[in-house]
Amino acid sequence: MRRQFIGTIAIAAVIFFTAGAGYQLRAQQAPQPSAAATPRAAQPSVQQPVQSTAPGKQTSPKSPARPARVGGHPNLNGIWQALNSANWNLEAHSVTGLSRFWQLGAIASIPAGKSMIRGGGTIPYTPEALKQRDENRAKWPESDNEAKCYMLGIPRYTYHDIPFQISQGDVDIQMIYPFAAGNRFLHMRDNDHQRDPVDSWMGRSNGHWEGDVLVVVTTDLLPDTMLDRTGNFHSNELKVTERFKPIDSTHIQYEATLDDPKTYTKPWTIEMPLYRLIDENAQAFEHKCVPFADMLLYHDLIGDKEKP
């Protein structure tokens, strides 16, 4: 009797142990609730960094979309540059060299370029003005305000080698030119369209919109600003009418009509595309050129000794 009781207890213990182990196994194999099924409040709203294809690196967040218009007008903000040889010569020219600077070798060569004048051809100088142009050319670079680190004026700053910046607000527009710290404010309000009492390197620029085209009229310019490095010039009676016509977000069709009855027999127009720099964090870097013009300007005081 005693042996039967002990056997019954042993059998019951085995059955209980087996049932418990089966329950644990089923619990481990049961499907777990997915993240989607978890209540939203229980999920932390942490944005994980996006991994790039390269191990150990992360992709940069995308820049905000560039607005197509500012204040109801095309967005011209950005760093712009003309890609041509107009700063050497607005007229058509072949490749040539600067014999005075032979030590520079091919670095002193002038690249060939087509005419920037509408329809091709040459600048319509008066006979007297043409003689002055030739004299300027013979005295280059001493005759060029660029060599002296003076502001280049309008329209030359637009097609200078160094890119320039357009800063456009809802109404006002400013253009910044790195060479010789040039800049000009466009007077866009009708009640502010006036003339300056004295001439200056940058003159006065009055602007307005004709549809999607920015039109700027610049007057009151000093006659000392050359149009390029080959002696092309103007007088203080010059009036420049510029038209900035957007082609798309990265291109502008630029044209400038120069009217100066004291120098030219008729108005004439240059035209060229401008390209917006799309580099990440594109910038216009200041070009402080004054120290490099000292020997040219003050040679009689400094002498032939090179600066340290």
Read off the pLDDT of residues 210-238 as tens digits, 9 standing for 90 and up: 999 999 999 999 999 999 999 999 999 99
Closest CA to 280 of 12, 62, 34: 62
Query: pTM for the complete prediction?
Result: 0.77
Tell me if 274 sits within 8 A of 246, measured CB to CB.
no
- Residue 29: pLDDT over 70: no
Cα–Cα–Cα angle for 128, 130, 135, rounded to 5 degrees: 100
pLDDT at 65: 86
Q: What is the Cα–Cα distance from 142 to 136, expressed in whole angstroms?
A: 9
Q: What is the Cα–Cα distance from 180 to 52, expressed in whole angstroms?
A: 43
Q: What is the Cα–Cα distance from 51 to 59, expressed in whole angstroms?
A: 6
Q: What is the Cα–Cα distance from 217 to 229, expressed in whole angstroms?
A: 24
Q: Give me the helices (H) in the chain, please.
A: 2-29, 127-138, 290-297, 299-302
The mean pLDDT value of the chain amounts to 85
- For residue 43, how many other CB atoms are within 10 A of its CB? 10
Q: What is the Cα–Cα distance from 263 to 238, expressed in whole angstroms?
A: 8
- For residue 127, how many other CB atoms are within 10 A of its CB? 7
Question: What type of residue sits at position 35?
Answer: A
- For residue 293, how many other CB atoms are within 10 A of its CB? 15
Q: What is the Cα–Cα distance from 143 to 136, expressed in whole angstroms?
A: 6
Read off the pLDDT of residues 1-22 as tens digits, 9 standing for 90 and up: 444 444 444 444 444 444 444 4
> Taken in order 110, 268, 262, 181, is the CA torsion positive or negative?
negative
Confidence of residue 99 (pLDDT cuts 50, 70, 90): confident
